[in-house]
Amino acid sequence: MKLLFVSTPVGALGSGLGGGVELSLYNIAQEMMRRGHDLQIVAPAGSAWDNLPIVQISGNLQIIAQSLEREAAIAMPENSVLANMWDYVRQVEDEYDLIVNFAYDWLPFYLTPFLKRPVAHFVSMGSLADALDQIIIQISQQFSGTIGFYTAAQAATFPELTPPIYYLSSGIDLSLYQFCSEPKQQLAWLGRISPEKGLEDAFAVAESTTIPLKVMGKIQDESYWQKIQQDYPNAPIEYLGFVSTKEMQRVLRECRALIMTPRWVEAFGNVAIEALACGVPVISYSRGGPASIIQDGETGFLVEPDSIDGLIVATKQLDRINRQTCRDRTQKEFSLEALGERFEKWFVDILNFQP
C-alpha cells in the first residue's frame, strides 16, 4: 500500500507535546515500512525522529483539545499548521492509496467527504468536545469502518458510533526496553505534565511512603507544575525532563513500579506497556485504558479511581508481582508485529470497502 500518515498538529513529531500518539505513529510507521508498504508522513515543521520519512509543514500549532471546554466552538489560529498540512494532503492525495489521520481535531473529519482517497481516522483520546464527537459520529456513519480507537473503554465515551468499530490497541519495539529483575527502591511517573494526568496524586504517594519518585515528561502546563510542587514540598521527587525512549527506559526499568494517575478516561496509556516491557509493574486507577492493560495482582494493581490510599496500599504489595510475568505479557499482546497486524488489517478492510 501507499500510505500517507498525517500527524498531530499540536506539536512537532518527536517533541512530546502530542503525547502517546507520537510514539504510536512512530511504531506503526516503522512496522508498515518493515512490511514493505510505501509511507510518507506529513507533520509540523521541526519534526524529526530517526529514519521516519517526514514532509515538514509550517504554520501555527493547534490548541490542545484537553484545555478547551466541552461546548467550545471549533477554533484555529491564523496560518494554521493543521489547515496547511491538509492542504498539502489535498495536493498529493492522488499518489497514495490511503490517508491515515492521527489528529484529534475537527478539520480532517470535516474534509473527508471532499477528498478522493479514503481516510482512516485513528482517534487518540476519549470524548472531550461536543463538536468533535458530532463529526466523528457522522463520519462513522457515512464512511463505514474508517474510525479506529485504542480501546473499547475509550470508544465507549463517544455516543452513537456506527459499527464496525476498530480497536487497535498499541504496541512497542520490545528490543528497545531492557528487562530489569532487581529494581531500586524508587517509583516512576511518566507522561505529559498536565492536569488530566493527575501527577499530584503520585506526589502524594511519594510524600506518604517516602519512596523517591522519578518524573519524566513534557511540561505542558507550567502553572500547574509549579502549583503541585508547592502543594507537596516534602515529596521526594526528581524531575528528569522529557527524555528519549532509550534514556527513559534506563531509569524506568530500575523502578519498583510505575504509578499512573489519570483523572480522565485514558484512551490507552503507552507508558503502561513501556513499563511492563521492562518488567516494571503498573499501579493505576481502575478505569479507561490502564484497566484493560493491567491484570490486577499479576502485572500490577488496579485501585479505586482517584483513591490515593488505594495507590499507597498497592505500593506495599509490590513483592507479590513477578516482574518476568510483566515482560512476558507485553511480548504477546503488545509487540510491534501484533500492532502491525491489527493496523494492516484495518487499512486493507477500508480499501476493500471502497466502491
103, containing H or E segment: none
Tell me, rounded to whole angstroms, the distance of Cα 177 from its chain centroid.
Answer: 17
CA–CA distance, 241 with 222 (Å, rounded to integer)? 13
Measured from the CB of residue 267, what is the shortest distance to ligand UDP in angstroms? 7
192 binds ligand UDP (CB under 6 A): yes
Q: Does 224 bind ligand UDP (CB under 6 A)?
A: no
Is the distance from CB of 239 to CB of 267 less than 8 angstroms? no
Considering only residues 171, 217, 288, 310, which one is a binding residue for ligand UDP as defined by CB under 6 A?
217
Does 245 participate in binding ligand UDP (rule CB under 6 A)?
yes
> What ranges in 55-100 are assigned the alpha helix state H?
81-92
The sign of the torsion formed by the CA atoms of 198, 261, 289, 191 equals positive
User: Rounded to the nearest whole angstrom, what is the least distance from the CB of residue 242 to ligand UDP in the complex?
Assistant: 4
CB of 335 to ligand UDP, least distance (A): 16
Q: Output 87 or 238, the one with its CB closest to ligand UDP.
A: 238
Report if residue 248 touches ligand UDP, rule: CB under 6 A: yes
SS3 sequence, 105-160?
A: CHHHHHHHHHCCCCEEEEECCCCCCHHHHHHHHHHHHHCCCCEEECCHHHHCCCCC
Q: Which stretch binds ligand UDP (CB under 6 A): 80-88, 137-145, 180-188, 242-250?
A: 242-250
# residues near ligand UDP by CB under 6 A: 19
Given candidates 190, 252, 293, 303, which one binds ligand UDP under the rule CB under 6 A? Answer: 190
Cell 529483575, residue? 181
3-state secondary structure of 335: strand
Rounded to the nearest 5 degrees, what angle is found at the Cα of 83, between the Cα atoms of 119 and 20?
A: 65
Of 187 and 271, CB closest to ligand UDP = 271
Return the residues of window 10-29 that contact ligand UDP according to CB under 6 A. Answer: 16, 19-21, 23
**Does 216 help bind ligand UDP (rule: CB under 6 A)?**
yes
Residue 108 identity (one-letter amino acid): P
Supply the minimum distance, in Å, between the C-beta of residue 170 and ligand UDP. Answer: 8
Q: Which positions from 28 through 57 interact with ligand UDP, judged by CB under 6 A? A: none
What mask of x and - would describe binding to ligand UDP in positions 256 to 275, judged by CB under 6 A?
------------xxxx--x-
Q: Which residue(s) pair with 259 in the sheet?
A: 283
153 contributes a contact to ligand UDP by CB under 6 A: no
Q: Quick check: 257 and 318 in contact, CB under 8 A?
A: yes
Which range binds ligand UDP by CB under 6 A, 152-160, 238-246, 299-307, 337-345?
238-246
User: How many C-beta atoms surround the C-beta of residue 328 within 10 A?
Assistant: 14
Task: By CB under 6 A, tell whether 191 contacts ligand UDP.
Answer: yes
Any idea how long the chain is? Answer: 355
Residues near ligand UDP (CB under 6 A): 16, 19-21, 23, 190-192, 216-217, 242-243, 245, 248, 268-271, 274
